[in-house]
Structure 1
Amino acid sequence: MPTPSDKPVRHWFITGASGGLGRHLTEHALRYGDRVTATVRRRTALEELCETYGDRLTVEILDLTRQADVHEVVDRTLRSGPVDIAVNNAGYAVVGAAEEMTVEQIRDQIEVLLLAPMLITRAFLKPMREQGGGRIIQISSLGGQVGTPTHSSYHAGKWGLEGFTESVSREVCDFDVRLTLVEPGATRTGFASALHYTTESTAYRDNAVGRTRRYLETADESVFTGDPAKLAAAIYDTTRHPNPPLRLTLGSDTYDAVHAALTERLTALESQQDLAASIAYSD
């Protein structure tokens, strides 16, 4: 086990820490001597870590769709001492055609993926600014840059998070508050448990929506190349950099897909250069 460094102990706030990347990141920070306030849906999810790390781990129960609870947990965390690194990690995906999604499914998806991270980010900005700096890590995904059928509400949340984060990062960089969007690809984090399916309609059963649904329903996670422990280590290392990247693209699949998407968008943009200039007033 690594021994704690001579660097000051840092305080992390991590949402969605009961499993997957959130748990790996919680374990990594604790292993290297830091403190963590971890939010979960079930307190028993982190019992083993509580026994191992004692008062360096604080567990909070939090449902991100309950805005009042979000404020209460963040306020209580800040009363316990300064937070150096906040990680908006919790999430899930509604799978199905946009037409199949209920209003409740869409609302809950946006509240968890976008509204809650916005509220948590805002809550930490002032204390981080006043303490002279801090880090906010937004767990986006390949889906924050590339759109696929069946994930329209998920993409709305992740693309919105990317725009929000890019804007805020420019507002607070003078205060040494740094924001980083982490964009992992297919990672072995038990993704199936985070997929919520719509009620399938016959209209979409045999097109791209149906084919994608079939793939997700039968996908074998063992083919995913992303190692969540290595992903957590890469995120941790980034928080030690004095000038971290705005976007951290992790996974060869993510790199290839984002590169292709950005290249396609740039090509489409360049093809419209003359049209873009044509709508100006004539002198």
Structure 2
Amino acid sequence: MTKRTWLITGVSSGFGRAMTTQLLESGNTVIGTVRNTKKVQDLIDKYPERFICEILDVTDVSAIHELVNRIGAEHQIDVLVNNAGYGLFGAAEELSDEDVEKILATDLTGSIQMIRSVLPFMRKQNHGQIIQISSYGGQVAFAGNSMYHAAKFGIEGFCESVAQEVAQFNIGMTIVEPGGARTEFRYGSAHVANLMKEYDNNPAHAFLKMLDPANGLAPGDPARMAARIVESVDNDDMPLHMVLGSQALQSTIETMEKRLTEYKSETDLSASTDFPEGE
């Protein structure tokens, strides 16, 4: 593996922690952001030369710009990994205004601003790789996850557009779409709205079974998923979308096939709104 400098958000747990540990063990430099240093103190102590820990709340746009500008002036940023985020569960009606604003600021706007801040540095150095941690929930939607899907569908559209804009500057883009994994995202940090009895026995509350470890653990291994993400940077032919987890891939393919069938059935309808040929 080529030694690089990685900027990774949210390294205190989950994929961020797993990637950071693997990268440091293999000799890379990691600039990792956290909201509290307690969970990464062991890495600070073990890798004082190659682990640079920064405090950052990704909902603070001015702090993002300040951090990236400072880091970019001191280090060559080879890879950005937008990993910070969390899950929000509950029917749309059960969510508060604060719930809506917070998840968009964290899972969508925070990632957008990190990418925008890093691009000038990667463009000037004529190389870089952006890895956006999304979810197969960026393609497949389930009841009770509306705002999470809004954030993930949104960041995927942003990244697909930006990928076309920056390809000529030798900047790559990978949208990672993991399935369920045994991380704090599902079993610790997930936020549940104030539930309403009107939605009991409704698909919107199906997530309650999924969040309970007693009903079986998620199939995804965070360490293996992190390894595939890290390895991807050395591949010249990586696709724009990388799905991790067999269940996630199967669900994504089924959803795409259903969507394609629906679109194809609208051929006559869509053509009926065009001006007749010659007009």
TM normalised by structure 2 equals 0.95
Partners in 1 of 2:211 and 2:48 — Cα distance? Answer: 39
Q: Per-residue CA shift, 1:25-81, capped at 9, x if unaligned?
A: 001111111100000111121111122212100001111122222222222221221
Q: Secondary structure at the match of 2:48?
A: helix
8 Å CA contact 2:64–2:117 kept in 1: the answer is no
Q: Distance in 2 between matches of 1:93 and 1:221?
A: 19
Aligned to 1:71: 65
d(CA) in 1 for partners of 2:73 and 2:121? 11
Contact residue 12 and residue 83 of structure 1 kept, 8 A: yes
Q: Quick one: distance in 1 between partners of 2:204 and 2:80? A: 35
Q: Is the 8 Å Cα contact of residues 188 and 222 (structure 1) preserved in structure 2?
A: no
C-alpha RMSD of matched pairs (Å): 1.4
How many residue pairs were aligned?
A: 276
Separation of aligned partners in 2, 1:70 and 1:279: 45
Question: For the residues of structure 2 that align with 1:87 and 1:235, how far apart are their CA atoms?
Answer: 10
Change beyond 3 A, Cα 1:129–1:243? farther
Q: Is the 8 A contact 1:96 1:150 kept in 2?
A: yes
Alignment check: 8 A CA contact 2:183 2:222 kept: yes
Query: What is the aligned partner in structure 2 of residue 185 from structure 1?
Result: 179
Give CA deviations for 1:219-243 in whole Å, capped at 9, x if unaligned: 4485322111111111111101123
User: Shift of the alpha carbon at 1:103?
Assistant: 1.0
User: Structure 1 residue runs of 4+, over 4 Å off?
Assistant: none
Q: Which residues of 2 match residues 139-218 of structure 1 at below 5 A?
A: 139-190=133-184, 191-210=186-205, 212-218=206-212
CA distance in 2, matches of 1:105, 1:156: 13
CA positional deviation for 1:258: 0.1
Q: Deviation at 1:175?
A: 0.9
Any stretches of 5+ residues in structure 2 without a counterpart?
Answer: none
Amino acid in structure 2 at the alignment position of 1:37: I
Q: Would the alpha carbon gap of residues 272 and 234 (structure 1) be closer, same or farther in structure 2, given more than 3 Å must change?
A: same
Distance 1:50 1:237, change over 3 A: same
The AA in structure 2 aligned to 1:44 is K
User: 2:234 corresponds to which residue?
Assistant: 240
* Secondary structure, aligned partner of 1:249: strand
Identity of aligned residues (%): 37
Partner SS for 1:223: coil
Q: Does 1:25 align with 2:19?
A: yes
Matched residue type, 1:122? R
Q: Does structure 2 conserve the Cα–Cα contact (< 8 Å) formed by 1:25 and 1:236? A: yes
Q: TM-score, normalised by structure 1?
A: 0.94
